[in-house]
Every structure is written in structure tokens, then in C-alpha cells.
Amino acid sequence: MPKEQPKRSAQILRFTTRGLSPESRVQLWEGHNARALIPLDIRTIDDSPMRSQQTNLHLPSVRMASVIGTSQIVERSESFISENPTGMMAVFFAVEGEAFFFHRGGHLNLHPGQAVVYDADRPFVRGFSRGLREIVLTIPKDLYAELVGPSGPDLPAVFDFGAGAGASEQALANLLQATLSMVAPPAPVAEPEREAEPGQRQAADGRGDLRPNLARAEEDTFGLLRLVLGAPDSSAAGLVASAKNFIERHLADQNLSPARVAAAVGISERQLGRHFADAGTTVGRYIQGRRLELARDLLASPDHGRLTVAEVAVRSGFPSQSHFGRVFRRRFGITPLQWRKEARRGLLYG
């Protein structure tokens, strides 16, 4: 585990160029990046007005950002770095848009589903000819060194996180996307920038206090970074997070088993079982619990009201409706059909 970091409140920041005068957008976009992510020298490729938006989540030890923008070039030259040091490592996850990445040792062409790791205080130029959508993670260099250890990769390091990539790489990208989705704006952002405590913001839009989930997400990020960039079996927390992500993506598959999950994360079934036991459960129990929670949500959802109970069972990975009914009642105390009726009554009468 990383050493104890100073306790700070999580913060959400948001920025959009919507409503800003075209001539001021680049300067204000640079200003937001400098405050919320990484200071950058930014320029557009053509005369079209820049359109960009960003949601930032500052946790006690790491920062996450969801970034969308039109074509642009971003740079940190040696002189710029000397005036704007960060002390950060950065991981850029390309979700949409091709990009080039120039650095001292050469250049890379990056495609959606690829991530690049680099020291933000080494010179680089990144370019997006047709715009971008990406997730960015920044982490202090000393914490990065502690997590990755001496076996860390040479920089820049590129890894795949899309379909067909390793379970841990996919889990890390999915974790960041899911965490940022928890703090995504419920409606288009009207003002250029806004800051709030996650708990306060969520209290306003009805999703509850997210602070426990955010703390867990930060811990899982540490574990997955260690797995992806350090020793492949060095983090029990990362292995469990990777396994849970694999389970989440295969809940509907009736052939999902502890052995298959263990193979996906690259360890033996016995090792995986020990890690889950340390977390207070078993792999099989966790799979069934998540399937039941998925079924419960499907039954309560107005969007899935046309599904029969049998169809809900299949979508949740249960081999038969009778088995599903038994375990559902054992877990929640009522039958699936009763749950659906109670949920509808709640929706109708508040």
C-alpha cells in the first residue's frame, strides 16, 4: 500500500467553451488546464473556433479528467516546463480520435484504445487532427515510483486498454470512466467553471454521498496501476479490482466461473480465492451477489418493464428462472415479481 497521503477533500471542477467568445477560448482553456490538470501551451490547427469541455475530479492523491475537444496541439517545451513544473506523471487514455505524441526520443502514433504514460516534466507535443475524447490520470512522481517500483516501464510507455487488452488494463480504464461518470454533470454546464464538494453536489442531484465510493476508487486505482505498470502480480487489491471488472463485463454469461475469472487476471483459482477471502467473500458468492443486484435493478427499471422475469434471469446470468427465484427471495426476502410490483408502486406514488 502507498504511504499515507495528506487528507484533502475531493473536488469537482468543470469547464466548457460553450458560450465563450471564440477569440478567448484558447486562453481560457489553457487557464483551466493549468489550474485543474496540467499547464499546457495550446493552439488550434485551423481558424475554426475551439470547442472543448472537461470534467475534473481531484482526489487526495490523484487527479482524473474527462476531456473532449476539437482539433488542437498541446505542448510542454523545456522552457515552458521550467516556468510551469508539475511534479506529476500523466497517463492519457485515448477514447476517440487519432493522436501523435512527439518526445525527445522520437514519436508515437496513438489510436483509440491505447494509453501512453509519460513524465509531465519532460518535453512533449501532442496533436489531434480530428479532435479528441480522452481520460487523463495524473499522479505525483513519488507516489508513482512507490507504486510501480524498480520494474516500472521505460517512458513513454504505451499499453492497450480496449477490447482484447489485458484484464487489468481494461479494468483501470473502466474504473476511471466509471468514477468520472459518477461526477458527470446531470445537464449541460452553463457556466465556464464550477467547483463543489462531491457530497454536496450529489446531494443536490439525488445520487447520495459519493465520498466512500471515491475513496474506494482511488485505492483501486493504486492497485491497478501497480499491476499494469509494475510487477504483474504485485497488488492483491489490484487483482481483486481487475477480477471484479472482468466479472462485471461478463455477468450475463452463464459460463462465468471462478476458474475463468482467475485465468483472465493471470493467477491461479486458489490465489484468487485467497484474495477474495481476505476481502471477506468468495469469487462465487461475489458473482451471484452482483447478478442479483443487476436483476434487482432491471426489475425496478421502467426502461426494462417489458422484460419478463424469465428474461431478467437470463440477462443476469442465471441458468433457470426457478433457481433465480429461489436465490432472489433468499437475498431480498420477496419474489422477483413482488419486487417489481413494489418498485412500480414506489415510482407511481413517490
Model pLDDT, residue 197: 38
Q: Strand, helix or coil at 91?
A: strand
Average pLDDT, the chain: 88
CATH H-level, domain 11-160: superfamily: Jelly Rolls (2.60.120.10)
Model pLDDT, residue 233: 64
Residue 102: is its pLDDT beyond 90? yes
Model pLDDT, residue 200: 31
Average pLDDT over residues 170-175: 95
Q: Measuring CA to CA, which residue among 67, 114, 63, 65 is closest to residue 89? A: 63
Residue 7: is its pLDDT beyond 90? no
Q: How many angstroms from the chain centroid is the CA of residue 276?
A: 22
Q: How many angstroms from the chain centroid is the CA of residue 293?
A: 21
Strand order in the sheet with 132-140: 157-160, 114-119, 88-96, 132-140, 63-69, 52-58, 11-16, 193-196
* pLDDT tens track for 21-52: 999 999 999 999 999 999 999 999 988 999 99
Q: Where are the domains of the chain?
A: 11-160, 236-349
Location of C-alpha cell 508513482: 144
Model pLDDT, residue 237: 82
Residues 6+ apart with CB under 8 A from 186: 205
* DSSP secondary structure of 94-125: EEES-EEEEETTEEEEE-TTEEEEEETTS-EE
CATH number assigned to the domain with residue range 236-349, chosen from the 4 options 3.40.50.180, 3.40.50.200, 1.10.10.60, 3.50.50.60: 1.10.10.60
Residue 294: is its pLDDT beyond 60? yes
Model pLDDT, residue 288: 96
* pLDDT tens track for 234-250: 678 888 988 998 999 89
Residue 196: is its pLDDT beyond 60? no
Q: How many angstroms from the chain centroid is the CA of residue 112?
A: 15
Model pLDDT, residue 8: 63
